Amino acid sequence: MDKVVVPPEKKQYQEIGEDLREQIIQGHYPVGSRLPPERNIAEKYGVSRTIVREALLMLELQGTVDIRQGSGVYVMRIPTENETEEERFFNSDIGPFEMLQARQLLESNIAAFAAKMATKADIDNLKRILEQEQRAIAMSDSSQDNYKLFHLVLAGASQNQMLLATVESIWRHMDSSPLWQQLHAHLESRSYRLKWLGEHQTILAALRRRDVMGAWQAMWQHLENTKNSLLELSDADAPDFDGYLFESVPIFQGKMQ
DSSP string of 63-105, one letter each residue: TSEEEETTTEEEE-----TT-HHHHHHHHTPPPHHHHHHHHHH
Confidence (pLDDT) at 20: 93
Confidence (pLDDT) at 235: 46
Fold of 12-75: Arc Repressor Mutant, subunit A (1.10.10)
Band (181; pLDDT cuts 50, 70, 90): confident
AA letter at 87:
E
Confidence (pLDDT) at 173: 83
The 10s digit of each residue's pLDDT in 42-58 is 999 999 888 898 889 88
Cα–Cα distance between 129 and 235 in angstroms, integer?
Answer: 33
**% of the chain residues with pLDDT over 70:** 79
Confidence (pLDDT) at 182: 72
Mean pLDDT of 148-171: 94
Mean pLDDT of 10-18: 85
If one compares 232 and 204, the residue with the highest pLDDT of the two is: 204
Q: From residue 124, how far is each of 88, 121, 154 by CA, in Å? A: 45, 5, 11
Q: From residue 128, how far is each of 85, 149, 151, 167, 201 by CA, in Å? A: 44, 11, 13, 21, 11
**% of the chain residues with pLDDT over 90:** 44
Q: Which residues make Cβ contacts (< 8 Å) with residue 119, sequence separation at least 6?
A: 157, 159
Band (159; pLDDT cuts 50, 70, 90): very high
Mean pLDDT of 108-132: 97
Nearest to 53, CA basis, from 253, 221, 248, 244: 244
Cα–Cα distance between 97 and 13 in angstroms, integer?
Answer: 11
Fold of 96-234: Four Helix Bundle (Hemerythrin (Met), subunit A) (1.20.120)
**CATH 1.20.120.530 in the chain, residue ranges:** 96-234
Q: Are 93 and 257 in contact (CB under 8 A)?
A: no
If one compares 86 and 157, the residue with the highest pLDDT of the two is: 157
Cα–Cα distance between 124 and 204 in angstroms, integer?
Answer: 10
- pTM value is 0.63
> Does 66 score more than 80 pLDDT?
yes
> Does 5 score more than 50 pLDDT?
no
> Does 36 score more than 60 pLDDT?
yes
> Does 89 score more than 80 pLDDT?
no
**CATH 1.10.10.10 in the chain, residue ranges:** 12-75
Mean pLDDT of 111-123: 97
Instruction: Write the DSSP symbol of residue 30.
Output: -
Cα–Cα distance between 191 and 142 in angstroms, integer?
Answer: 13
Mean pLDDT of 112-131: 97
